[in-house]
Amino acid sequence: MKKAFLIMAVLLFAAPLMADDYSITLGWTAPGDDTTSTGEWIGTCAYYDLRYSVNNQDILINDFWNAPRILDIPAPLEVGSPQVHSFQLDIQTSDTLYFAIRTADEVDNWSDISNVAMKTFSDDINPETVTDLTITVTVRVQVE
């Protein structure tokens, strides 16, 4: 049976740690592993595969499997459970990134690709303020 699900992947937080280094947190609802005779999702999937791309078409249509993979993603929880994953990426501040996730069960049946969460990163942090501005006055005295 082909499993389909929609993960509510939401970019919850993206804050720069230092130049071009961002801490990102994605959140979603754990999908089910199997369905009952009434179509209700039950159980827990075996694992996730979370990917990102600078091109929406690449991650959705062209080649999800070749998009860069986010590592150390948590194990799936029981269906309906909220999940989050935080990680760091070294990216250019003008990049727009697209994130998508798939799940697999214990026999490697893969779900469809989730919805895509998108975030454009920009350098909107003001530079540090000068706090030690001083003034020195020199008086020229003429002796006659």
Burial class (CB in 10 A: 0-12, 13-18, 19+), 144: exposed
Q: Is the pLDDT of residue 7 over 60?
A: no
Q: Is residue 96 assigned to a domain?
A: yes
Q: pLDDT tens digit string along 71-122?
A: 999 999 999 999 999 998 877 666 788 999 999 999 999 999 999 998 887 7
Residue 143 lies in a domain: no
Rounded-to-integer distance, Cα 132 and Cα 100, Å: 47
What span, in angstroms and rounded, lies between the C-alpha atoms of 3 and 20? 37
Per the domain annotation, does 115 fall within a domain? yes
Whether residue 42 is contained in a domain is answered as: yes
- Position 98 in a domain: yes
Quote the number of domains for the chain: 1
Q: How far apart are CA 4 and CA 50, in angstroms?
A: 16
Alpha-carbon distances, residue 92 vs 33, 52, 89, 95, 96 (angstroms) = 37, 14, 10, 5, 9
Q: Is there a domain that residue 5 lies in?
A: no
Taking the C-alpha atoms of residue 125 and residue 110, their distance in angstroms, rounded to an integer, is 40
What are 47-72's pLDDT values in tens digits?
999 999 887 777 877 788 889 999 99
**Domain containing 58: what range?**
10-120
We report the CATH number of the domain holding residue 14 as 2.60.40
pTM recorded for the entire structure: 0.70
End-to-end CA distance of the chain: 104
Q: Is residue 48 part of a domain?
A: yes
